[in-house]
Amino acid sequence: MNKFILLAINLLLLTTACETDDATVLSDVNILAQNDCAVASLSGLRATLCITDVEGNPKMSFDENENFIISLSFFNDSGELVKIKEEYLADEEVMSVNGVNTSEDFGKPFNSVSCQFDGNPYMEIPSGETYVVSSPWILEEGITIIGPICKSESNEYLVTGSYRVVVSLDFIMEKGNETISVEGGNELSLEFDVM
């Protein structure tokens, strides 16, 4: 009888320890093209992916040996503080460049995340504000890297061809007192050419 009671208590403790978080799951993300950028709307947060020249003009075509910048921005129109962990940027499918025809992975425009850790592991986006993560493909003096990312080594210039920048939209965000898990394999992507 005592063994049965101990077994029942252990089972009860095991099942309560394995309960899942009370996160709201968001899998329906509205993605559309806006000018030369890709935009996703998700529960009070708008994510925008752009590829620009070094002056910040969105472009889809670059000359060989021309530098470009990949920029991901989040605009908070929810009315509450939104937080996303910086580690999201370390995901291999965030701001990665791949060949369109070959699917070859050419890397990211940055080397690592949270290089200058300030004790806060979140990208905090106050209501009505934008958080930008931006890096040039080629490390070049005078071009600023924006956000919690580092670029200690330069990438090589891309050869003539078609490429795609991909940003996975699978992450967890905190909006006020609510935790939202964005799931479902949604992604922003832009194709561009090097001529």
User: Which phi-psi region, left, alpha or beta, contains residue 186 (left: φ > 0; alpha: ψ -120 to 50)?
Assistant: beta
pLDDT at 68: 97
CB-CB contact of 123 with 193 (8 Å): no
pLDDT in tens, 155-184: 999 999 999 999 999 999 999 899 999 988
pTM across the whole model:
0.84
- Residue 17 — pLDDT band, cuts 50, 70, 90? very low
Burial of residue 23 (number of CB atoms within 10 Å: 0-12, 13-18, 19+): middle
Fold of domain 22-194? Coagulation Factor XIII; Chain A, domain 1 (2.70.50)
Tokens 């989040």 correspond to 74
Percent of the chain surpassing pLDDT 70? 86
- Two tokens at 56? 């910040």
- Residue 21 — pLDDT band, cuts 50, 70, 90? low
CA distance 105 to 97: 6
The strand pair at 24-26 and 178-182 is best described as parallel
- Residue 109 — pLDDT band, cuts 50, 70, 90? very high
What radius of gyration do the chain's Cα atoms show? 20
> Taking all residues of the chain, what is their mean pLDDT, rounded to a whole number?
86
What residue type is assigned to position 23 of the chain? A
pLDDT in tens, 66-99: 999 999 999 999 999 999 988 889 888 899 999 9
pLDDT at 136: 96
